[in-house]
Amino acid sequence: MKILVAVKRVVDYAVKIRVKPDKTGVDTQNVKMSMNPFCEIALEEALRIKEAGFAKEVVAVSIGPSQCVDTLRTGLAMGADRGIHVETNSSFLPLTIAKILKSLAEFENPGLIFLGKQAIDDDCNQTGQMVAALLGWPQATFASKVVLDKDKHVATVDREVDGGLETLCVDLPAVITTDLRLNQPRYASLPNIMKAKSKPIKKMTVQDLKVDVKSDIEILQVTEPPQRKSGVMVSSVDELIDKLRNEAHVV
Amino acid sequence: MHRFLVKLSSSSNQFRSSKNHRLILPLLPSSKPFTSSSSVSSSPPRHSNRSGYPYLVELFQKISPLSSNSRTLGVNGRSISSEAGRESIEYDVLIVGAGPAGLSAAIRLKQLSQEKNIDLSVCVVEKGAEVGGHIISGNVFEPVALDELLPHWRQEHTPIEIPASSDKFWFLTKDRAISLPSPFDNKGNYVISLSQLVRWLGGKAEELGTEIYPGFSASEVLYDASDKVVGIATKDMGISKDGSKKENFQPGVDIKGRVTLFAEGCRGSLSERIIKKYKLREEVNAQHQTYALGIKEVWEIDESKHNPGEVVHTLGWPLDPKTYGGSFLYHMNDRQVALGLVVALNYHNPFLNPYEEFQKLKPHPAIKRILEGGTVLQYGARTLNEGGFQSIPYPVFPGGAIIGCSAGFLNVPKIKGTHTAMKSGMLAAEAAFGVLHEGINMNTYWDNLKDSWVWKELYAARNYRPAFEYGLLPGLAVSAMEHYVLKGKVPFTLKHGKADHEATNLARKCTPIEYPKPDGVLSFDVPTSLYRSNTNHDHDQPSHLRLRDPKIPEKVNFPEYAAPESRYCPARVYEYVEDEEGKPKLQINAQNCLHCKACDIKDPKQNIEWTVPEGGGGPAYSLM
């Protein structure tokens, strides 16, 4: 079985971000970028499944500018066998990414597609679900535990939902998106980083995959949240009700 | 300390030899250089045909071998042994630290390698997650060394774009700025971000075939049986706070070099150990090193106030006449200005808080009018050398050399150390090349240093800083004499005063200093500033700040010196909190650390030892 893992290059989680002065987006120039933490967890799970003998190959795929190769190299250093870089300078929204991944899945025929549950830059939490729908595959999102049954060709997944934990059994091939508690990703060791240099990364374009990238959504403006105003001390309950009614208009 | 790798490969015989036996395996065909994590790479790296791939060295020991459960991994037909022992990778030259000195050395080595058509494998390890991530400096860059190293830089697109256009010098009082004749002459120099320049240098080094590995911290020096340095060991990753191995434990590796160059920057942790071990200061009768702490912010200001290339230095407010230091304000491009305060660490009053002094500087009318309406983009801090000529240790030791600020080549009156660091790296590279291929001695590095402009420059500048031991006015008077008349041509060399950590007076003899509260617009509290440094460490690891005697903070630092570490640390790493009995107890927030090394320098009993945390941690500077 082959496992396809989608990894996204995002602003590092510890970096302080700011909005570009022209309000078109977040300033990513001269900013440290890393692999999305949930994608790292997804890759780690795929590697563990391969090491347990359930899969033959783990393929990492990233969609974005030329620097995505760095992210793929990190993935290869962690243990992925090969990488696919769909090169584009546009910043795609989840539906387009899902269409690209669908096209890749039809090409590569994986038994499992792993994604992080969401990216820490847009917090969309949509791509995994959309890929499953486009492919007509079952999905198990927010996975906190994944157990494969090779004979029955199913995966039993514990999902972290608002009410607690839900256990699903999905037929393979399936799409699984990973949550924080699934595993702790391994560090890429220096010898592995060196070995990763010789692992192949295939470059593709959206034209190669015959995907229509026209987006239905246009981002009009990105602004910082309004500055938090300081609170006001009130002297009595009456004054509080008065303020809530007449100033804040919430009662 | 020795590291033995016990070889367990099933593919070769077990030797029973009486000494460590080294098996050198043949050269591998070249492979494309790799840029790991998110390091620099603008264009696909070009690569020479025979890059000199690392050797894999296996050592084995006569003492009973470990169990034979080794995994042998094939790498292009070679086997590596990785049992509970550590893996070992060998290069011709190993460089610790990807800063200006380290990268200049790497570039020079690869240039020589191409010129003479001799293969050289060069590896640079860097504790920052990216090349340039731990680089912070003023910086008004003097391109003299770069002109020698990469003369075509001027025809290329580089981060060196803004020529210095003016040299202002102000004496600040609480409300006024008095213009004085400038002791600086920055004509021909450039206002840059050193972090950006280092990233560019990293790209150049990789293009030439250097292997750079960011995210790996060198935690120990490796020695052979004759006490010669043979390389470094990277730090184990994935160790929990209590010392146990986490599920993602990854042992470090031994990286060996036939020559090892230490380029860790000011107060480099391994460099300090080497200097002590081989008594490198005593060797040339050098004085102790003296330091200053620089705290810096990059602001994005109003277009109307921005004047690219403007260079301002100040003296006076907010520092008192007994404390040496001053501020800088450099206009970069993109509406950015670099603003910082440098405070010499031989200050006397333990209540002095360099971070708060910096916050006091910003509301000064002359500074405020530039910053008003602007926002802070990044914050950071780092110590720098002020010892100059008198403090340069003998930089050569068995197995390698020390380059850049780890040795200490900063020109204090110019406040520039980048150009001399780069030149020292280039000279060490030339000497190392000679060691590897012509059989000469590494001492050639020292000889060439003394024959170079670095020596001439530092010699001429040697008396400026020590004159301030006598006070601000005598210091200024001597500086004026030196600058206009003497230019270092005097028969004497002034000595430094006490070492920085010894200069702190007891708290009871000093007056506490009241610092104003931050206003959130020009001045900020430490957590807000720290957030802007993008610093982070995995919290579940042992603290990298080691106390030699864990009782000293509560016994000495707190009662005698009013806890100076809680004041000079620009990252609020050290805090005293009340324990269950209401007594003050030191809490070390190692996660905040900016890797500035102030604590290693200024702790009165030298009780704090700064060691490397897990690789990849620390600040993420990009504009500094």
pLDDT at B259: 97
Distance (Å, rounded) from C-alpha B389 to C-alpha A187?
43
Inter-chain residue contact A34 with B38, CB threshold 8 Å:
yes
Residue type, B11: S
Distance (Å, rounded) from C-alpha B61 to C-alpha B225?
13
pLDDT at B469: 86
Helix, coil or strand: residue B375? strand
Distance (Å, rounded) from C-alpha B368 to C-alpha A58?
56
Query: Residue A12: its chain B contacts at CB < 8 A?
Result: 38, 129, 534, 620
Residue type, B253: V
pLDDT at B456: 95
Residue of chain B nearest A196, judged by CA positions: B34
More confident residue, B83 or A120: A120
- What is the overall mean pLDDT for chain A? 94
pLDDT at B43: 38
Inter-chain residue contact A73 with B213, CB threshold 8 Å:
no
- Residue B155, phi then psi, degrees to nearest 5: -90, -5
Degrees, nearest 5: CA angle A246-A250-A251: 80
pLDDT at B479: 86
DSSP sequence for B76-89: TTEEEE-SSS--EE
Task: Enter the DSSP assignment of B508.
Answer: G
**Catalytic choice (B86, B258, B382, B462):** B382
Q: Is B266 a catalytic residue?
A: no
> Does position A57 have pLDDT exceeding 80, yes or no?
yes
pLDDT at B488: 83
pLDDT at B587: 95
Residue of chain A nearest B33, judged by CA positions: A197
Q: B578 CB contacts (<8 Å, ≥6 apart)?
A: B584, B585
Q: Is B137 a catalytic residue?
A: yes
pLDDT at B39: 40
CB contact residues (below 8 A), chain A span 34-73, against chain B = 34, 67, 69-71, 73
**Catalytic choice (B123, B266, B405, B593):** B593
Q: Residue B267: how many CB atoms within 10 A of its CB?
A: 22
Distance (Å, rounded) from C-alpha A198 to C-alpha B9?
23
> Does position A232 have pLDDT exceeding 80, yes or no?
yes
Helix, coil or strand: residue B500? helix
**B54 Cβ under 8 Å from any chain A Cβ:** yes
pLDDT tens profile A138-162 = 999 999 999 999 888 999 999 999 9
Residue type, A184: Q
Mean per-residue pLDDT pooled into runs of 10, chain B (624 residues): 36 37 35 37 37 35 35 33 70 97 98 95 97 96 97 96 95 94 93 97 97 96 96 96 92 96 98 97 96 97 96 94 94 96 96 97 96 95 96 97 97 95 98 94 96 96 89 86 86 92 95 94 96 94 96 94 96 94 93 97 96 96 95
pLDDT tens profile B394-416 = 999 999 999 999 999 999 999 99
DSSP sequence for A188-210: PPHHHHHHHTTS-EEEE-TTTTT
pLDDT tens profile B576-585 = 999 999 899 9
pLDDT tens profile A60-109 = 999 999 999 999 999 999 999 999 999 999 999 999 999 999 999 999 99
Distance (Å, rounded) from C-alpha B448 to C-alpha B390?
18
Give the confidence band of A248 by pLDDT, cuts at 50, 70, 90: confident
Provide the Cα torsion A99, A101, A103, A109; round to 10°. Answer: -150
Distance (Å, rounded) from C-alpha A13 to C-alpha A28?
13
pLDDT at A151: 87
Give the confidence band of A197 by pLDDT, cuts at 50, 70, 90: very high
State the burial class of residue A245 (Cβ atoms within 10 Å of its Cβ: 0-12, 13-18, 19+). exposed
Distance (Å, rounded) from C-alpha B507 to C-alpha A139?
65
Query: Residue A70: its chain B contacts at CB < 8 A?
Result: 35-39, 41
Q: What is the pTM of this model?
A: 0.87
Give the confidence band of A215 by pLDDT, cuts at 50, 70, 90: confident
pLDDT at B24: 32
Q: B514 CB contacts (<8 Å, ≥6 apart)?
A: none
**Catalytic choice (B210, B418, B529, B566):** B418
pLDDT at B400: 97
Distance (Å, rounded) from C-alpha B1 to C-alpha B277?
12
